[in-house]
Chains A and B, each alone.
Chain A
Amino acid sequence: MSSRIEILNDGGYRSDGRKQYELRDITIDLTQQGTADGSAQLTHGLTQVLVTVFGPREAKMRSQTLHDRAVLNVEMSVAPFSTGERRKRSRADRRILEMAAMIASTFEPVVQTNLYPRSQIDIYVHVLQQDGSLLPACINATTLALVTAGVPLLDFVCAVTGGVHSTSPLLDLTTLEENDVPHMTVAVMPRTRKVTLVTMETRLHVERFRELFELACEAGQTIHREMKYAVKDRTVALVNAMDAGSKGGAADDHDRDVVMDDRI
Chain B
Amino acid sequence: MISFASFPSTSEAYGRYGNTRHHPDVEDDVHMDLDEDDFEENVQRLTVPGESITSSHAFMRGHGTYVDNDEVIASVAGTVERVNKLITVRAVRSRYNPEVGDLVVGRITEVQPRRWKVDANSRQDAVLMLSSVNLPGGVQRRKLESDELQMRTFFEEGDLLVAEVQAFFSDGAMSLHTRSLRYGKLRNGQLVTVPPILIRRLKSHFVSLPCGVDLILGLNGYIWVSKHVKQSEQEGEEGFDAEAVYSNKNDDIDEATRAAISRVSNIIKILAAHFVPLTDSVLLEAYEWAVEQESSVKDLLLDDVGENLVASLGSGLRQ
Residue numbers of A with Cβ under 8 A of B are 21-23, 25-31, 37-38, 55-59, 67, 70, 112, 115-119, 147-156, 171, 189-192, 218-219, 222-223, 225-226, 228-239, 241-251, 257-264
Contact = CB atoms under 8 A, between A and B. Distances in A.
B275 A150 contact: no
B138 interface: no
27 contacts: A25-B20, A31-B14, A31-B16, A56-B95, A57-B95, A117-B172, A118-B172, A150-B78, A150-B93, A153-B49, A154-B50, A154-B66, A155-B49, A218-B23, A226-B20, A233-B15, A233-B17, A237-B15, A238-B92, A239-B92, A241-B274, A248-B318, A257-B43, A259-B43, A259-B44, A259-B45, A264-B31
Nearest to A153: B49
A239 B46 contact: yes
Nearest to B78: A235
Given A246-B279, A248-B317, A259 B38 contact: yes
B64 A21 contact: no
Nearest to A22: B22
A250 B43 contact: no
- Tell me the dominant secondary structure on chain B's binding face: loop
- Tell me the dominant secondary structure on chain A's binding face: mixed
Contact of B18 (A27, A70, A151, A239): A27
Given A116-B123, A251-B311, A152 B317 contact: no
Given A219-B23, A241-B276, A264 B48 contact: no
Contact of A263 (B51, B68, B119): B51
Given A232-B46, A258-B44, A251 B26 contact: no
Contacts of B14: 31, 237
B171 A191 contact: no
Contacts of B30: 262
A211 B61 CA distance: 39
Contact of A234 (B17, B171, B314, B317): B17
B15 A119 contact: no
Given A37-B95, A234-B15, A67 B171 contact: yes
B181 interface: no
9 tightest A-B CB contacts, nearest first: A150-B94, A245-B276, A155-B50, A248-B317, A150-B91, A152-B75, A241-B275, A248-B314, A234-B15
Interface string B275-317: 1110100100000000000000000000000000011011111
A237 B17 CA distance: 12
Contacts of A58: 109, 117, 119, 124-125
Contact of B123 (A55, A238, A260): A55
A259 B46 contact: yes
A239 B79 contact: yes
Nearest to B276: A245
Contacts of B310: 245, 251
A75 B125 CA distance: 22
Contacts of A117: 171-172
A154 B76 CA distance: 9
B93 A238 contact: yes
B21 interface: yes
Given A238-B15, A259-B38, A56 B123 contact: yes
B20 A149 contact: no
Nearest to A26: B20
Contacts of B94: 37, 149-151
Contact of A262 (B29, B66, B93): B29
B24 A222 contact: yes
Interface of B: 10, 13-24, 26, 28-32, 34, 38, 42-52, 64, 66, 68, 73, 75-79, 91-95, 109, 117, 119, 122-125, 171-173, 197-198, 200, 271, 274-277, 279, 282, 310-311, 313-318
A111 B117 CA distance: 26
A222 B13 CA distance: 24
Contacts of B78: 150, 235, 239
A250 B311 contact: yes
A257 B80 CA distance: 13
A119 B48 contact: no
A222 B317 CA distance: 45
Contacts of B311: 250-251
Given A242-B198, A262-B30, A154 B49 contact: yes
B48 A231 contact: yes
Contact of A261 (B23, B51, B279): B51
Contacts of B318: 248
Q: Which of A150, A152, A155 has the most CB of B within 10 A?
A: A150
Contacts of B34: 261
A244 B13 contact: no
Contacts of B43: 257, 259
Contacts of B38: 259, 261
A239 B94 CA distance: 14
A234 to B, nearest CB: 4
Q: Which of B18, B125, B197 has the most CB of A within 10 A?
A: B18
A117 B17 CA distance: 34
A126 B18 CA distance: 20
